[in-house]
Amino acid sequence: MALSLFNTLSLQVEEFVPSDGRTVRMYSCGPTVYNYAHIGNLRTFTFNDTLRRWLRYRGFVLNHVMNITDVEDKIIRKSMELGIPMTEYTLKYEQFFLEDMETMRLEKPEQIVRATEHIHEMVDLIETLQTKGLTYDSEGSVYFRISKFPGYGKLSHHDFSGIQAGARVDNDEYDKDDARDFVLWKSRKGEEPYWDAPFGAGRPGWHIECSAMAMKYLGDTLDIHTGGVDLAFPHHENEIAQSEGATGKPFARFWIHCEHLHVDMQKMSKSLGNIFTLRDLIELGHTPEALRFVLMSVPYRKRLNFTLESMKGAQTSIDRLRNYKLRLESDKLSPSTNPDIANLCQDAIAKFEASMDDDLNTAEALAAAFEFVRETNSLLDQGSFLEGNRTAALDLLARFDSVFDVIEPRHKSTGIVDSEVESLITERTSAKKARQFAKADEIRNKLLESGIILEDTKDGVRWKRK
Ligand SMILES: [Zn+2]
């Protein structure tokens, strides 16, 4: 089966191949850097990462661009309230975002680009739209006239033919069903940051940022454009209007949207106090891998219900995989190969790949891996798992982890010295003797995170560095 993805444009699962057969030109709407990313944002960025990794697994090369929105209504309001220059304010949150990406093991897109460094491209694009008669000016601002763009609504599948001509909006966001002419360039106001332009001093609207940067780096027609489902309208609809209005060519072949995340069955909101950031979860004692696992355990097109309980379950699952891998690496096995296990292994890989090819069905892909672990763990217990099966099983785990990336501990160079390892092992042994198994496991995992692998043998505990 070929790799297939759900395209919001056609509302169908379609086979995906990049237009040149090799390099995927992909654009993802990035963060607006005015605050820490919350786990709903991180779901979308983790989805981008999953998609990237699967495209690479399938042999494609990536040219992935993500923007940093560093000029926008909320940013300006917040930085002015605090009396901090806008760039100083945004750089701080950009840095936090990049740190979170790294902690979450999210691959960096090939190009990360800031809106404020592409004002010139935005101005050019607005001028093109002006010459095509798709805009009008009002009080120093420039608006896109959506009634002049017949394709308006094709992504959100709304019929906007009866819209009120001339109704317009200056805000960067507005309600569904309420299509209005949107602002391309906002005239200079008070002390707000501004740039000079042929149509007057001001600053870009949010939507024009993505059109200008996507086309600059990836050409007129992208292979894939991704974002959270809340961006489909109006943001992506407006991106289409701007880009296609200017070039007359399709802007993106595939539009892929990641669903929302709820917390305890409710929308995240300030008033409910249920907005979590990665940093909040780490403070509560959870690991970034557990969050990665939770976010990937639900296919991206399904709503995900986040609970702190699910974080614990995820950690247990990750520990099972890690212990299984340790066992595969260190158990003494009898010679020869068990053909049944060789078949199990092949079947598991086939199921894993077919699930991912099926619109990134990460839940099924996980199930295939865990079924294999369960079955072969008991075969290891029975002694029918043989030396000749070791490499194939480890290869399966490596394939799985090339996408899920939760097994291999990401040990920062903690510089744990031998004597510390020995004393932790002694502590663990006493914990086990006292039947404090949770504590013993905790120490084992702590060591694993520092790159120390323990092996319980008849003669006591052996350990090695990874
Ligand atoms: Zn965007």
Task: Work out the end-to-end distance of the chain between its first and last CA atoms, rounded to an integer number of angstroms.
Answer: 37
- Report the SS3 class of residue 71: coil
Q: How far is the CA of 267 from the centre of ligand 1 (A)?
A: 22
Q: How far is the CA of 236 from the centre of ligand 1 (A)?
A: 7
**Token pair for 9:** 């444009």
DSSP designation for 156: T
- How far is it between the farthest Cα atoms of the chain? 83
Q: How far is the CA of 465 from the centre of ligand 1 (A)?
A: 44
Cα–Cα dist 97/297, whole Å: 23
Helices 288-297 & 362-382 angle (0-180, nearest 10): 110
Q: How far is the CA of 30 from the centre of ligand 1 (A)?
A: 7
Q: How far is the CA of 31 from the centre of ligand 1 (A)?
A: 9
Say what the pLDDT of residue 125 is: 98
Q: Is 405 left (phi over 0), alpha (psi -120 to 50) or beta?
A: left
Say what the pLDDT of residue 176 is: 44
What is the rounded (10 degree) CA torsion for 266, 272, 277, 280? -120
- Report the SS3 class of residue 421: helix
Task: Enumerate long-range contacts of 100-104, CB under 8 Å, 24 or more apart.
Answer: 100/36, 100/37, 100/42, 100/277, 100/278, 100/279, 101/45, 103/278, 103/282, 103/288, 104/42, 104/45, 104/46, 104/49, 104/278, 104/288, 104/291, 104/292
Proportion of the chain in helix, strand, coil states, percent, rounded to 5? 50, 20, 35
Place of tokens 């619109």: 359
**Token pair for 366:** 């996980």
Q: How far is the CA of 274 from the centre of ligand 1 (A)?
A: 26
Q: How far is the CA of 60 from the centre of ligand 1 (A)?
A: 24
Cα–Cα dist 339/386, whole Å: 10
| Among 321, 319, 310, 280, CA closest to 442 | 319
Q: How far is the CA of 256 from the centre of ligand 1 (A)?
A: 13
Q: How far is the CA of 207 from the centre of ligand 1 (A)?
A: 6
pLDDT along the chain (466 residues), means of 10: 94 98 97 96 98 97 97 94 96 96 96 98 98 95 93 88 64 58 94 96 97 98 97 95 98 98 92 93 96 98 98 97 96 96 97 98 98 97 96 97 91 65 89 90 87 81 80
Say what the pLDDT of residue 456 is: 84
How would you write 235-278 as a 3-class SS string? HHHHHHHHHHHHHCCCCEEEEEEECCEEECCECCCCCCCCCCEH
Say what the pLDDT of residue 412 is: 54
Say what the pLDDT of residue 413 is: 47
In the structure, how many helices (H) and strands (E) does the chain have? 14, 16
User: What pTM was estimated for this model as a whole?
Assistant: 0.86
Cα–Cα dist 214/217, whole Å: 6
Task: Please give the helix or strand (H or E) that residue 213 lies within, else none.
Answer: helix 206-218
Task: Please give the helix or strand (H or E) that residue 448 lies within, else none.
Answer: helix 437-449
Hey, which bits of 16-60 come out as E strands?
A: 23-28
